[in-house]
């Protein structure tokens, strides 16, 4: 057996062990919340890791993968074409990348402005595809009446102001080529994720009153998936706990 094959086998075992551990955490969090583990979809965030890892995860039964940069995601998705995977885009998205993303993404979780809705609709229509969309909500600013201000630089991670969610939802729901699936958020740095995810759950409930089909709540990462599941997350996005630490990438 060559070293490359041996290396692949070791990586498979590592990913299998990590996956078992993450699935155990999700199951325990669901049990604690009185939820069925089948209600929560694990989305593996494969950014900075090679297509070979995506293949191994697919072989191990992972059905959903996520990437946050088009220039990295597109070749990886092409490399993995034919695998039974749903591709999620979870990064900040420039309108000029919409056509590229529409070629491989099944779900865009980071829709945060009407201009992007228009670009994605145009791109999906040209590509003859349907893109499922989540509205990324920024939870960085405190709720009105809660006082204080969030960490100054937090807005850099993107996301719509909660007050803009209804208008964005209507824009997505009426756009050709797009389907409104729900909401996504990242817990603010340094805050209590339970507070943030409870707020997201209220925003999601308000959204479902107008758009009953928009039932997805994408929340929770390696460090806070338990709190997200407790607050009703239907999708958790896990990178580090599955694949290991990422090397810093220069942007």
Ligand X SMILES: *Cc1c(COP(=O)(O)O)cnc(C)c1O
- Examine residue 159 and tell whether it contacts ligand X (CB under 6 A): no
CB 140, CB 150: distance < 8 Å: yes
In the complex with ligand X, which residue's Cβ is closer, 18 or 68?
68
User: Of 75 and 223, which has the nearer Cβ to ligand X?
Assistant: 223
Site size toward ligand X (CB under 6 A) is: 13
Dist. CA 231–CA 197, nearest whole Å: 6
The stretch near ligand X (CB under 6 A) out of 12-20, 71-79, 191-199, 239-247 is 239-247
In the complex, minimum distance from the CB of residue 224 to ligand X, in angstroms, rounded to a whole number: 8
Q: 186, 200, 217, 231: which one contacts ligand X (CB under 6 A)? A: 186
Which of the ranges 32-40, 188-196, 198-206, 232-240 carries the binding residues for ligand X, by CB under 6 A?
A: 232-240
Write b or e for each residue in 37-55: b if 16 or more Cβ atoms lie within 10 A of its Cβ, otherwise e.
eeebbbbbbbbbbeeebbb
**Does 237 sit near ligand X (CB under 6 A)?**
yes
d(CA 230, CA 219): 11
Which residues have C-beta within 8 Å of that of residue 201, sequence separation ≥ 6?
217, 231, 232
* φ/ψ of residue 66, rounded to 5: -130, 145
The residues, ordered by sequence, that sit 6+ positions from 224 with a Cβ below 8 Å of its Cβ are 187, 193, 197
Distance in angstroms (rounded) separating the CA atoms of residues 97 and 120: 9
Least CB distance to ligand X at residue 198 (A): 19
Question: Largest alpha-carbon pair distance within the chain?
Answer: 64
Closest-CB residue for ligand X? Answer: 239
**Segment interacting with ligand X (CB under 6 A) among 53-61, 140-148, 172-180, 216-224:** 216-224
Cβ-based nearer residue to ligand X, 125 or 150 = 150
Residue selected from 18, 68, 138, 234 as contacting ligand X according to rule CB under 6 A: 68
76 binds ligand X (CB under 6 A): no
Interacting residues with ligand X (CB under 6 A): 45, 47, 68, 90, 186, 221-223, 237-241
């Amino acid at each position: 057996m060559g070293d490359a094959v041996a290396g692949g086998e070791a990586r498979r075992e590592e990913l299998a062990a990590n996956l078992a551990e993450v699935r155990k955490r999700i199951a325990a969090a669901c049990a604690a919340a009185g939820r069925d583990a089948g209600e929560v979809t694990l989305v593996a965030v494969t950014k900075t890791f090679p297509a070979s890892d995506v293949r191994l995860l697919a072989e191990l039964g992972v059905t959903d993968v996520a990437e946050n940069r088009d220039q990295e995601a597109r070749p990886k998705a092409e490399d993995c074409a034919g695998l039974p995977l749903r591709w999620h885009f979870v990064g900040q998205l420039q309108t000029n990348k919409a056509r590229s993303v529409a070629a491989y993404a099944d779900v865009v979780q980071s829709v945060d402005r009407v201009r992007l809705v228009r670009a994605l609709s145009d791109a999906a229509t040209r590509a003859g595809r349907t893109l499922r969309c989540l509205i990324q909500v920024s939870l960085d600013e405190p709720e009105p009446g809660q006082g204080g201000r969030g960490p100054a630089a937090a807005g850099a991670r993107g996301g719509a102001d909660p007050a803009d969610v209804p208008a964005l939802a209507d824009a997505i729901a009426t756009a050709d080529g797009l389907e409104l699936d729900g909401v996504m958020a990242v817990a603010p740095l340094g805050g209590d994720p339970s507070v943030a995810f409870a707020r997201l759950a209220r925003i999601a409930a308000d959204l479902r009153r107008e758009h009953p089909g928009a039932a997805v709540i994408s929340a929770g990462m390696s460090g806070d998936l338990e709190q997200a599941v407790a607050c009703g997350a239907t999708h958790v996005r896990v990178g580090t706990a599955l694949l290991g630490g990422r090397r810093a990438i220069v942007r």
